[in-house]
Each structure stands twice: as structure tokens, then as C-alpha cells.
Chain A
Amino acid sequence: MRYHLGMAYTIEAQNLVKTFTVNESGKGLLGAVKALFSTKKRIVHAVENVSFGIRQGEFVGYVGENGAGKSTTIKILTGILVPTGGVARVNGVVPYENRRDNSKNIGVVFGQRTQLWWDLPVRESFEILRVIYRVSKGDFDAMMARLTKGLGLDGLMEMPVRKLSLGQRMRCDIAASLVHRPTVLFLDEPTIGLDVLAKENIRSFLRELNGKDGTTIILTTHDMNDIEQLCKRLIILDKGRVIHDGPTEELKKRFPHDKIIEVDFESELASLPLVPELEPIRREGKKMWLRHAHDSSGLALAIGKLASLYPVKDLSVREPSVEIIIRSIYEKTAALPGYAPVEKAAK
């Protein structure tokens, strides 16, 4: 699953390293002037020795906190950045050495910025992409018919991009990345800022694209529902390193008896609850998430204790979501069962 030399992968990352040099600049005008003359530089290790292999047709979630190195990896794989060390290959092409060949095979969506022509009707953007990627008229019309249906683009085509809502724009952006029928699709936070319905639309389309067309998809996201609903495999990144790589299901099974208790307190607690069976994992104001890691027989007792000791307003018990699991992985990387640094197996 992870990375094995000699396997046939659609997307390969082999010991990728990317370091940035950042000029330190102080605050204010004086700081800026000082920075002009100082040679003080900070080296940022955005990606440190990342390896993975992704096979044709996989749908992989690539997650991590802000600054973990997700976007940097995606930018290396799409040919935007040249890595400081290691090798990347997409369909056998080294993206940053052969940008043109790579670009014909891949589709890229950056959720934060559009690739559409801002001031022109949506249709014009698709038309120019058809020209840029040299797609024949017949192929283009067939693909557009599919995209229009799958992403619900009816009625949007004649609108200027700047007048689209975020959800509409995102659907158009995803369609635009697929005009040339790429076999690999990179999605960098495609659901950011969207409402539930828009997210659902996009998810069902992506599911179909992956299932029917066998398009290999890498998705970075902060939305754990995206991961749970779409990605059969999850790669978790922390501080530029892969800290987990495996089936999403497997990750859930690692905590078979865990229950997550979501508690609303009457008032914000001054200290953490002192029920030993319940381990606090997250806290937001009056709300708190506690984990019960033992078998469920003791659960009722633990909750009873909690309720008698603290002013509990509301409480619900649920299966741990992937988000909670990921959070607990971040917090105790070393203690996680089955965790090992990515190793390379011999052929």
C-alpha cells in the first residue's frame, strides 16, 4: 500500500523533500528596512522525505493541518514546484521536468483560486481550454454534455464567472479541469467554504468519475465528511512527514471500542473534567469531546460520574469520526499502534 520500489504506480512520490528559504523581516517599516540589509534567512522544511505510491483508479485523501505540506506535495506532483530532493512521477513523467507532457495527463483544481476567465461567461473559459488542450470538437461536446449533467452546469454557461456563487464557481472549476479528460485529478480543497448541498453535489460527481471512468483522484481537504464518503485510502501528513498511510476503514477499526462523547456544559469549565475513564481530546468553549477508550460496559458509569460532578447540559455518544481519529494521531504519533516510518521494501 505504501511505497514499494518497482511497483507500477500512477502517482509516485519517492523521498520528496522541499525546503523554502524565507527572508526574515521584522515588523513595521524599520523591520522591513533592516531585512533589506540583513542576511538572516529562515529555512522552512515544507516537505521532509515524503514517499507514497498511488495506483490507477485510487481515490486518496491527503490530509494534514495547515502547513503540514499538503499543498507543497500537490504542487510538486503537478509540476509547479521543483523538489529540493527526491523524485516524483505521474504516469511515468517527472512533472517538474516535463511540464507539458504532465499537464496533458492531469487535471488540477485549487479551491482557493479559479482557473476560469473572471470577466467572461463560463462558456468562453471552456472554449479556450478546449483550444489550449487541443481537444477535438466532437470529444469536447461529448465531455461537456457529461459535465453539464453531472455537475449541474445548466444555466451557468452564459453567466460571467465573477457573478457565480462560490458553489457554482467550484462546480465550473472542476468541470474546467476535466475538459481534456485527464486520467489523474488533483483537488486541493475543492469543498472549502461550500454549503452542504453544494458539497454533496460535488461529492457524488467525484464518486462517479472515480467509479465509472477510473480517474485517479488525490484530494486534500479539511472536511472529514469528504474523506469518509469518498476516500478509500488516507494519507496523513504532519510537519512535512507521512504519519499514516492506509485504508480509511482500517483507521476506524484501530479504535473499535472507542466512543466519543460530545458534551455541552452549562458553563465553561475552569479545569478539565476529572473522570479518569474519559479522556478529553478537544474543547471549544462550553463544548468538549471526550474519548472513552475501554469496552462499552463502563461507559454508562463514566457518564454518570461526569454528570454528577459537572454541570452537563447536553450529551451525545457517537462512533469516532475520522477527524477525531486523525486528531488523536497528531497528538500522539509515537504511541499509535502500527505506526512506523515509511519504509521501502526490496523488490
Chain B
Amino acid sequence: METLKIYATLALLSVRARMEYKASFLLFLVAIFFFYLAQLGLLIVVLARFKEIHGWRTGEIAFLFGLATFSQGFTTLFFNALVNFDQMLIQGEFDRTLVRPLSPLGQVVFSRFEASTVAHFFLGTAALYYGAKYSGIEWSLKKDLFLPFVIVGGVMIQSATRLAVSAVAFWTLRNSSLVHIVVFSSREFILYPVSIYNHGVQFFLTFLFPIAFVNFYPAQYFLDKTGENLFHPALQMATPLVGAILFALSLYVWKRGIGHYQSSGS
């Protein structure tokens, strides 16, 4: 409890520090909004033309978009600081977190807490709400209960990829291009049903870089999609498990990374 209070104080302080630069803060908000709008716009254009993508109708695609955007928004809200983590290493700022009686990861996350990422969260929530509404899901008690698990699982998968990719910087020092590919560009893959890709890509997104579990597999379950089982039907229920495993793995990589940390000169 005490620890939570400390992190909240850290976060609050970093928000206050950020507010020293109000114009930059507002510009960032506007940029986030247009980023999502542009992605959604592209999807709408494609759907207006083709009516459906590989058997997925507009509402269903909206639900896919909603799940992906929500988990990304929620992840960004907390793990935004990791995007520029390599800079913290290069400038030696990370040293400081190792000489304080708090978890280094907690300090990285909350001492660079970016309040404007709340926009990601709200846009993600809106996308999920409307996606669920327009997709014509037939809700049942089982689905109601499963939804929060899917969301937590999806957030864990996305957080885990961010954390693992950031931890690579402990070995390579610079990793911003890797972060941008894995964290941002990978999102493009799951805006569409994974079934449209060839087998190699499907395999990759399911077993090697399993972001298909963020939205595609659980969406199959919620939308009662049958007839296009990839690999195994059980995968539709696997999101929470995959999330937990990936998150544990990424924490392990992070811990190993700290042990390998070389610090910077001087």
C-alpha cells in the first residue's frame, strides 16, 4: 500500500514537471487523436470498398480494432516511458534508479509518467465500446466473464513485448528502431483478421510473436466465428494464459538485463 502511494507521488510529480511545457503537452494530445483517427479512417475506406475482409464484416472488424486499440491504449498509459528507455541508459539516468529503495522498473515507469497518454486510454475504451456495439455480439454470461480476462491478457501481451524489447537496450544500448518496429508497426498486423495472411505469418503472429492473441483469437470466440480455425480452436481461449506467460518471461528478461547493465562512462 505504502509502495503504491510512493509510485502515485512519483507519477504525480512527473505530470507536474510535464505541465511546465503546456504547448508540447497539448500538441501531443492532438497528435495521438489524429494517429488513431487516421488508422480508423483507412479501415473505413477499405471496408467501404470491399464490404468485408476475408469473411469479417465491418462491425466485426470494428471489434478487432477496438480490442487492439484498447489494449494498446491501456499499455501506453502505463508503459509509455519505456519507448525512450535507451535514452535513459545512454544518459546514465538509469543509474539513479538502482540506488533507491524502489523497483527500478517502477521508477522508470512512474518517474516518467506521461499524462497525455490518458488520451490513448480514452480512445481505446471508445473503440472497444463501439466495436462491441456494432459487431452484433450475442453476449452470454460466459462471454461477460471472459471479457475482462481477455482485456487483461491483451494488455499483458502488449506490455510484455514493450518490456522485453526495451530490455534489449541493456545489451545493445541503442534500440529505438527495434522499439518502433515492435511496438508501433506490429500493430498494423492485427488491425486485420490474422486469417488473411499466409501460413508463415499466421504461425509467426501466433507462436513466435503472439500478438494475434490480443484481438484475433478472442474476437473469434466473442463473435462466434466458426469455420476458420487456425491451428486449434482452444487458442480462442488462450489469451489470458499467453499474457501471463509472456509477462513473466519479459520480467525475467528485464531482470537479466539489469544484471548485464554496463552503465555509461564517467
Residues of A within 8 A of B (CB): 20, 71, 75, 78-82, 99-104, 106, 108, 110, 112-113, 115, 117-120, 124, 128, 131-134, 160
Contacts and interface: CB of A to CB of B under 8 A. Distances in A.
Nearest to A180: B101
Interface string B96-127: 10111110000000000000000000000000
A120 B18 CA distance: 9
27 contacts: A75-B95, A75-B263, A79-B99, A80-B99, A80-B261, A81-B261, A100-B101, A100-B102, A103-B98, A103-B100, A103-B101, A104-B101, A108-B99, A110-B95, A110-B266, A112-B92, A113-B93, A113-B95, A115-B96, A120-B13, A120-B20, A128-B13, A131-B5, A132-B10, A132-B102, A134-B2, A160-B20
B266 to A, nearest CB: 5
Contact of B263 (A81, A99, A133): A81
A211 B127 CA distance: 64
A289 to B, nearest CB: 27
B99 A113 contact: no
Nearest to A108: B99
B26 interface: no
A106 B99 CA distance: 8
B67 to A, nearest CB: 37
Contacts of A104: 101
B95 A80 contact: yes
Interface of B: 2, 5-6, 9-10, 13-14, 16-18, 20-21, 91-93, 95-96, 98-102, 259, 261-263, 265-266
B16 A120 contact: yes
Contact of A132 (B6, B20, B261): B6
Nearest to A79: B98
A119 B2 CA distance: 26
A282 B98 CA distance: 40
Given A110-B95, A113-B93, A81 B262 contact: yes
Given A80-B263, A119-B20, A120-B17, A131 B6 contact: yes
Contacts of A128: 9-10, 13
B265 A71 contact: yes
B98 A80 contact: yes
Given A100-B101, A103-B101, A133-B101, A113 B92 contact: yes
B201 to A, nearest CB: 26
B96 to A, nearest CB: 5
A132 B263 CA distance: 23
Contacts of A117: 13-14, 17
Contacts of B266: 71, 110, 112
A120 B12 CA distance: 12
B94 to A, nearest CB: 9
Contacts of B262: 20, 81
Given A113-B91, A113-B92, A78 B99 contact: yes
Contacts of A160: 20
B2 A124 contact: no
B261 to A, nearest CB: 7
A43 to B, nearest CB: 12
B150 to A, nearest CB: 35
A287 to B, nearest CB: 28
B174 to A, nearest CB: 11
A200 to B, nearest CB: 24
Contacts of A112: 92, 266
Name which of A78, A100, A132, A133 has the most chain B CB atoms within 10 A of its CB: A132
Name which of A117, A124, A160 has the most chain B CB atoms within 10 A of its CB: A117
B255 to A, nearest CB: 12
Contacts of A82: 259, 261
B127 to A, nearest CB: 33
A103 B102 CA distance: 9
A120 B9 CA distance: 14
The 4 A-B residue pairs with the shortest CB-CB distance, nearest first, are A119-B17, A119-B20, A100-B101, A103-B101
Nearest to A67: B265
